[in-house]
Amino acid sequence: MRDRVSGVLVAFCLAVLGAVFALAVLTSCTPEPVVIPPKERPEPGTPADCTTACARLEHLGCEEAKPTPAGATCEDVCNNVQQSGATALDLACVIDAGSCEVANACGYGGPP
């Protein structure tokens, strides 16, 4: 009888350990980045392109989505940079970003 109880206890402990391991593996997976479907993408280089990129930054909780100390919005800064002709932001990359780190790594697309 004692051997039977010990066997049941060992089986129970193994089942609990297996469940804990499975739970640890499942919760450690990173979620897929949210990608805006192509039909919802604005025309590149338009103010709506900056609005969409800034909305993505805000959704991700990025610092760049917040107004500047002078009060300029993300959209204002983005449109000013795009219209300056000095450089162009890679907004498609920002729109596709799954994290602030990825968005920040998008960099600039060079002169428009």
Using alpha carbons only, give the angle 106, 111, 112 rounded to the nearest 5 degrees.
90
Task: Verify that 59 and 5 share a domain, yes or no.
Answer: no
Read off the pLDDT of residues 12-26 as tens digits, 9 standing for 90 and up. 656 655 555 655 555
Task: Verify that 15 and 45 share a domain, yes or no.
Answer: no
65-70 long-range contacts, Cβ below 8 Å, gap at least 24? none
* Domain span holding position 46: 38-110
Tally of residues, the chain? 112
Task: Verify that 59 and 85 share a domain, yes or no.
Answer: yes
Instruction: State residue 72's pLDDT score.
Output: 95
Task: Verify that 66 and 46 share a domain, yes or no.
Answer: yes
Read off the pLDDT of residues 58-112 as tens digits, 9 standing for 90 and up. 999 999 999 999 999 999 998 888 888 777 788 888 888 899 998 888 875 544 4
Task: Verify that 55 and 94 share a domain, yes or no.
Answer: yes
Task: Verify that 43 and 60 share a domain, yes or no.
Answer: yes
Task: Verify that 56 and 24 share a domain, yes or no.
Answer: no
- Overall number of domains in the chain: 2
